[in-house]
Chains A and B, each alone.
Chain A
Amino acid sequence: MRATRWEATLVLPVSEDRDHIQGPGEAPVTLVEYGDYECPYCGEAYPIVKEIQERMGEQLRFVFRNFPISTAHPHAEFAAEAAEAAAAQGRFWEMHDHLYEHQQRLGVDDLRSYARAIELDLDLFDKEFEEHVHADRVHEDFLSGVRSGVNGTPTFFINGIRHDDPYDFETLLTALNGAIGAGADHGGS
């Protein structure tokens, strides 16, 4: 029998140019999340990540990539595109947070109202959203996740290695600090 073992590691390195990033580039540990805005587990992880970021401060770089599973979550794809449209206006994280704080309401009208709430240029948002300008980017994120071994949402990578343990606050914090201790390479870069 052929032994099939592959490392579940991030195949698309974190890029300061491409990715949505919070925290300094020189932080000793990078946490990458592949998430879906309509996924309830991602919704549970959202405040945990916030708390971790608060606790770790400059020690942590956090990256979010799209992994919408439309088969299960009919609004996830458009929500991801809306977040990317916000990113095009330099407001990704405001939209990201807004979406996770309003996960139950992700219809097209809701997305538009969130764009207004965070004061985006609505004409530009509407145009990009209607033309699905950002669909390719969302799909690129999705495929990079598939190839990295993302097997559901949320999937986290710590310094480029898939985190297969639970993502409660203590477990995640311990794993992140452990990665700092191990002095591993930066997030796959």
Chain B
Amino acid sequence: MQATLLPPGTSAPDFALPSTLDGPLGPQDRRGHPLILVFYPADWSPVCTDQLTLYQEIMPEFETHDAALFGISVDGRWSHLAFAKDRNLRFPLLADFEPKGVVARAYGVYRAQDGTSERALFVIDPAGAVSWSYVSPTDVNPGADGILRALEDLAAKGIAR
């Protein structure tokens, strides 16, 4: 049975996935700051591309909230490196590749029938709890408005900038 999306208030599971940076990354590396986790089905597919390109463009707004962003898919690190270079993505992409989808499963966003993750967004608060989560239909680019609202909610509660 499909696990359900991790809801707000739950602790965001830690992990250490290979990334396009030098070392592995996980939520624990950003503790004390808001973190945006963007699960997407695959490198190179058109919708993901628009979505991640848009997020790169909006990074300055995310950064005003002191937030970092990690992209996560089941693609391997070499695919991620080529993809990030091709699309000028400067935030890290994490490889949920081996064992495949283990982090997506932990967050309740693995699509067993496709062997990929859902197109899902999480905003994690500085203490490491999920403050907002959302699954978009895989063919719909969810944009950034929900993320910005979640970051503003954190700021309004005095939890983050």
**Which of A's residues lie within 8 Å of B, judged by CB?**
1-2, 4, 6, 8, 69-72, 142-143, 146-152, 164
The number of chain B residues with a CB under 8 A from chain A is: 27
Bound form: Cα–Cα A148–B143 in Å: 9
A1 contacts B149, C-beta separation under 8 Å: no
List 16 A–B pairs whose Cβ atoms lie within 8 Å, in order of A's numbering.
A2-B8, A2-B132, A2-B133, A6-B145, A6-B146, A8-B143, A69-B54, A72-B53, A72-B87, A143-B61, A150-B143, A151-B50, A151-B141, A151-B142, A151-B143, A164-B140
Residues of B within 8 A of A142 (CB): 57
A151 contacts B132, C-beta separation under 8 Å: no
Contact with B148, one of A2, A8, A70, A146 (Cβ below 8 angstroms)? A146
B11: Cβ under 8 A from any A Cβ: no
B51 contacts A151, C-beta separation under 8 Å: yes
**Which of B's residues lie within 8 Å of A, judged by CB?**
4-5, 7-8, 50-51, 53-54, 56-58, 61, 87-89, 132-134, 140-146, 148-149
Residues of A within 8 A of B141 (CB): 151-152
Contact with A4, one of B4, B134, B144, B148 (Cβ below 8 angstroms)? B134
Residues of B within 8 A of A147 (CB): 145, 148
A146 contacts B53, C-beta separation under 8 Å: no
Interface contact tally, CB-CB below 8 A? 56
Bound form: Cα–Cα A1–B6 in Å: 8
Bound form: Cα–Cα A186–B27 in Å: 45
B145 contacts A149, C-beta separation under 8 Å: yes
B56 contacts A149, C-beta separation under 8 Å: no
Bound form: Cα–Cα A70–B56 in Å: 9
Closest to B9 in A: A2
A6 contacts B88, C-beta separation under 8 Å: no
Bound form: Cα–Cα A70–B51 in Å: 14
Bound form: Cα–Cα A164–B47 in Å: 14
Bound form: Cα–Cα A70–B144 in Å: 16
Closest to A148 in B: B145
Bound form: Cα–Cα A143–B145 in Å: 10
Q: With A6-B149, A72-B53 in contact, is A149–B88 under 8 Å at CB?
A: no
Closest to A74 in B: B88
B53 contacts A1, C-beta separation under 8 Å: no
Residues of A within 8 A of B140 (CB): 164
A71 contacts B88, C-beta separation under 8 Å: yes
Query: By CB atoms of chain A within 10 A, which of B50, B53, B134, B145 has the most?
Result: B145
Residues of B within 8 A of A8 (CB): 143, 145
In the complex, what's the smallest C-beta–C-beta distance from B135 to chain A, in angstroms?
A: 9
Bound form: Cα–Cα A142–B148 in Å: 14
Bound form: Cα–Cα A6–B136 in Å: 12
Residues of A within 8 A of B143 (CB): 8, 146, 149-151
Bound form: Cα–Cα A39–B142 in Å: 20
Contact with A1, one of B4, B56, B89, B142 (Cβ below 8 angstroms)? B4
Bound form: Cα–Cα A77–B62 in Å: 20
